[in-house]
Amino acid sequence: MVNLNEINKEDLGYILGWASPKPSLAPRLGTTTATTDISDMQLLQAMDTRQFFIQFDWRTEFSDGADPRLSDINLIDNADLILLRKIMTAHVRMDRFIGNHLEHLMLSGYWARCMGRLQQLHDAMS
């Protein structure tokens, strides 16, 4: 069962306000030690405040993390808002089981790509 709260343009604008510009969300090439920037935590808090994250059985839907929708950065470019919310929710949940998972996504540019897609979806809303 999916508990899907409606997200409107105002909600997305609020979330995106915490994401731009944040160097910590871009790939940090050459970084040898990972540290979560406080702005990253504020972004996640903003997403939680606006009920961006969805309650659903992410392990079943995404084959316990093995689904290519969770790893192929190119698939994000065509994700609709519901799928993007599910993907980002699953990654936040995965971080509880895989230490520094979100940090890896932020360092690799994956999270920034998700935020870029979120910006596109926001801009397309009326």
Q: Which amino acid is at 8?
A: N
Please compute Rg for the chain using Cα positions: 14
End-to-end CA distance of the chain: 29
Give the pTM.
0.82
What's residue 113's pLDDT? 93
Distance CA(41)–CA(58), nearest Å, equals 22
pLDDT profile of the chain (126 residues), mean per 10: 78 89 46 54 93 93 87 93 96 91 90 94 94
Helix 101-108 / helix 38-49 crossing angle, nearest 10 deg: 110
DSSP 100: T
Per DSSP, the three-state class of 7 is coil
What's residue 34's pLDDT? 43
What's residue 20's pLDDT? 55
The residue with tokens 């992410």 is: 58
Cα-based angle 12, 28, 24 (whole degrees, multiple of 5): 35
